[in-house]
A and B are shown apart, each in its own frame.
Chain A
Amino acid sequence: MAHVAIVSDASSRDRAVELEAMETYVAQAPDHGHTAQIIDVDDFARLPEFDAAFLRLDTSVLGLPFAVSRYAWKLGLRIVDDPKSMLVCMNKAHIQGMLERADIPTPDTVLLTKEGREHLDAEAMFAELGTPIVVKAPSGAFSSAVEKAHDAKELRALVRRFAFQSDVILLQRYTPSTYDWRVGVLCGDPIYAARYHIPKGGWRIHDTPEGSQKKEWAKIERVPLGKVPYAVMETALNACKQVGHSLYGVDLKQRDDGSVVVIEVNDNPNIDPGGELPKHSPVFGQIIDKIAREGPRA
């Protein structure tokens, strides 16, 4: 039996579906012989009371969530997200390097360094990556700091803009699709899968649809794990294996020829009741059980 802290903050509790998810974790934990309690991130001094901690708030490397994760790691708790996964997932260039070295397919990518930026040959980049080029700052989340450049002028402007955030910027071949696959993986096992249908006329999961002024989130279509194409599932699991043993949401695209590329590996993915999982799904309790028994720890 384990006592699990669900670590939240005011913003995460204000999000109704997130609070519902947290309450479901607490309600279902006893089904597996555990207890779970929602605590505020400011109450990190209470962590020694627990055997495991599950962060359910926006992770930020230079904020309190990383400090809490690091502290829990030092204390020997099982911790999701563990600090190393946070560091890697908050840095798209780090993930890209890991995936490339493991020969896991990703869109063609150039990691543009500070020196490279100063001597950027935009035409050569378009010749190598095609048009448009996707420009990403390494630490953007929820489709922020991800833009498309259609010509050299746009590319230079975006590179200059993102240079304020990082010394390295990603330039990536654009992979068109109407939806992204999202596979949720915990401790090496898949826990859910979904198609994120991109707002019509947009290209990101959080984008402005045609004829609208307001950004919208992708519509979620749950897909039973058994119905996920083998290539998608295998690629997602292999990608997570490179990053760690924590909880990840892997974004993938399947190209017209059936091949699959990993777009991102996210820490702290949404697991919304009525979204990625059905309301009251027993998987919520299974997640707590898995963290309590197999979650990463020092």
Chain B
Amino acid sequence: MQPVQRLPRRRLEKAAGGSRKPFINLCGDYRFLRAGYWALVDAELNGVESSPSPIQAVTAQNAAACLLVAKHAGIETVDWKIARKPQDIEPPCLLVPIAGLTDTCYEVKSTRSRAAQWRSATQNGTRATLAVRLNGDLRSMRMIVGVTAHENYHLAWDVWRTFGVPLAEIWYVESGDPDGPDGSKPLLLGLDPLPLHELTERELRLFEEVSQRPMEA
């Protein structure tokens, strides 16, 4: 073991006869300044295109950026606004810190509890939080390189295409009546890390199958 570990300092070498192959980061946790993010920075510094790029990784983590970029890309998203004060919260809703879903979220069911929950979610008003309208059931699915075993496979593909994140837990609100004439639709809420070591046997087999296909994202 080296006494000091450093980020590798490799000089960019020109690949003979073509460009370098992109690097798909399978860490699953790409949060800013965490191990998966450093691998992306290292790739960028060495001239290697990565998926996700550092900017995609942070966009996926930042709850507001994620929803704005998703909507711009044509993905249907939940309705949300910035909760600067308790009165901005109209129950039923979910309070989501902008720093990301993995930070604690709060479900606000009544106006009676909203002030206390707003204080908790915003750490007494010191950090920005989204108030997300809950007009359906809150659900999640696991996405592996754009593929999922779940019925909302279109959403999984759109998330991969837009954010370049190969492994993620996708949170969404299932809006509408599945048995009604118009059916229900998934509205994207946000993305959570899905570490590689948490994949099930079945998901690993799915990944093996997917990795045989050409990447288009």
A→B interface (CB under 8 Å):
42, 44, 61-64, 66-67, 70-71, 74-75, 83-84, 87, 91, 93-94, 97-98, 100-101, 110-117, 119-121, 124-125, 138-139, 165-168
Within 8 Å of chain A (Cβ to Cβ): is B185?
no
- Tell whether, in the assembled complex, residue A168 and residue B99 are in contact, meaning their CB atoms are under 8 Å apart: no
- Tell whether, in the assembled complex, residue A87 and residue B54 are in contact, meaning their CB atoms are under 8 Å apart: yes
- Tell whether, in the assembled complex, residue A119 and residue B3 are in contact, meaning their CB atoms are under 8 Å apart: yes
List 11 additional contacts besides A67-B64, A71-B65; criterion CB under 8 Å: A61-B58, A61-B62, A63-B127, A67-B68, A70-B62, A93-B7, A113-B7, A120-B3, A121-B4, A139-B32, A165-B33
A112 is contacted by which of B4, B35, B84 (Cβ under 8 Å)?
B4
Number of B positions contacting A (CB below 8 A)? 36
Minimal Cβ-Cβ distance residue in A for B59? A70
Name 12 interchain pairs, CB-CB below 8 A, sorted by A.
A61-B32, A61-B58, A64-B82, A66-B62, A66-B65, A67-B62, A67-B65, A71-B68, A83-B59, A87-B58, A97-B41, A112-B5
Within 8 Å of chain A (Cβ to Cβ): is B100?
yes
Collect the chain A residues with CB atoms within 8 Å of residue B84's CB: 42
Bound CA span A92–B124, Å: 29
Bound CA span A202–B45, Å: 34
Bound CA span A83–B64, Å: 14
Minimal Cβ-Cβ distance residue in B for A42? B82
Within 8 Å of chain A (Cβ to Cβ): is B1?
yes
B128 is contacted by which of A64, A94, A120, A138 (Cβ under 8 Å)?
A64
Bound CA span A166–B37, Å: 10
Give chain B nearest CB distance to A67 CB in angstroms. Answer: 4
